[in-house]
Amino acid sequence: MKNRGFTLIELLVVIAIIGMLSSVVLASLSSAREKGRDAKRLSDMRQVMTALELSYDDNGQYPVSDTDGCGGWDVGNQTLSFLGNLSAKSMTNPPEDRIASGNCSGYRYYRYAAGSYGCPASKGAFYVLGVTDMETSGRPHRSSPGWSCPGRNWQGEMDWVTGSFE
């Protein structure tokens, strides 16, 4: 009578196939997580822009950037410090980027004086808000509105950037 069962070769082939399928699934899952984190970053930027506009309506100007370093930029690889004054009134959950690791990476904010970098002084002061180190795009991110003045283009410095005059 012949023994029934699997040979060692058959078992190894099945294990190899399962291993390849699981690696493909894990790679897809990692990509989906990166896209999800980038979507959250963009949602955070829309939330910050709304808070900035509410602050402008209340105070007649955008908040002054806190000088955390990086040339005076208010940077936050976890939070933006200028949001402390905004969050109680206009944001229930201040945004955080827990993945950004560098000293000058993550979210960035700076309020420039009127006429900086050749922008028209008649339009007043302006802010630049951006995200560096997005995971799923090179510079610029496809949804970045961009922001530039004759003397400087911030789109080359950040993955996603926007700004507004007062």
Instruction: Render pLDDT for 27-43 as a digit per residue (tens, 0 to 9).
Output: 878 888 888 888 888 88
Span 131-140, average pLDDT: 80
Per-residue pLDDT tens digits for 89-114? 666 666 777 676 666 778 888 999 99
Structure tokens at 62: 């955008």
Structure tokens at 29: 């899952």
Span 56-65, average pLDDT: 85
DSSP 8-state assignment for residue 116: G
**Do 137 and 152 form a contact (C-beta atoms < 8 A)?**
no
Q: Which of 117, 137, 133 is nearest to 125 (CA)?
A: 117
| pTM strictly above 0.75 | yes
